[in-house]
Amino acid sequence: MELSNSLYTCCDAQFTFPTDPALWRNIRFLTGYQPSGTRPTIRQPLYSIEEKRRRDATPWTLVQGILAPVQFLAFLISLALVVRYLATGEGLWIATCSIVIKTLLLYAIMITGSIWERVVFGRYLFARAFFWEDVFSMLVLALHTAYLAAIICDIGTAHQQMLLVLAAYASYAINATQFLLKLRAARLQDQHAPLSAAVGKGAK
């Protein structure tokens, strides 16, 4: 959770002026520097108690849990086929089919993910907990859609189209890493929740 939140604050820092003290607080957090006599910052959890309850109750959580690894498997297979075509000039048709399947899975996980976000956080996109992940997802979606437009409208050569796919896949890999870090943060929060509840009861 600490790592996830630090990445979140660093993304936010790119829009911060160097004179803003918040920027230097973020840098101190990442480097581990803590001035003597100061208290560590209390960070907001990924999910509130009510959001966690809705997350655990909705079937869309299971849908996301199924679609995410399926899409990642399709990504690995498609990436291998694309690299094979670029290296040998063979297998254009099967590489193209794999990219279309990967893109359709991306659309599916984006649509169902928006529904999940609406159920859990009350909005379809850009909820606080997943704001930067959603922002980067828009780039991923745009690059995949650009490839579909290129093959439908016959824009560019096959080699150029495959280079566009590599850019789309690189952005997808970064986005997937973002979500994996948030998944880790959620698991850490779930692990700490029972301990916090036990401490709270003991204090009564």
Query: Do 79 and 16 fall within a single domain?
Result: no
The 10 Å Cβ neighbour count of residue 161 is: 20
What is the full per-residue pLDDT of the chain (204 aa) written as tens digits? Answer: 444 444 444 444 444 445 555 544 544 544 445 555 555 444 667 888 898 899 999 999 999 999 999 999 999 999 999 999 999 999 999 999 999 999 999 999 999 999 999 999 999 999 888 899 999 999 999 999 999 999 999 999 999 999 999 999 999 999 999 988 888 877 887 776 654 444 344 444
* Statement to judge: residues 87 and 172 lie in one domain: yes
Q: How many domains does the chain have?
A: 2
Same-domain status, 8 and 64: no
User: How far is 103 from 71, CA to CA, in rounded Å?
Assistant: 9
Instruction: Assess whether 59 and 143 both reside in one domain.
Output: yes
Range of the structural domain that residue 14 is part of: 1-43
**Assigned token pair, 130:** 């997943």
Count of C-beta atoms within a 10 Å radius of residue 171: 18
Do 94 and 111 have their domain in common? yes
Q: Which long-range contacts (CB under 8 A, 24 or more apart) does 191-199 make?
A: 192/1, 193/52
Residues 103 and 158 in one domain: yes
Task: Say whether both 34 and 125 belong to one domain.
Answer: no
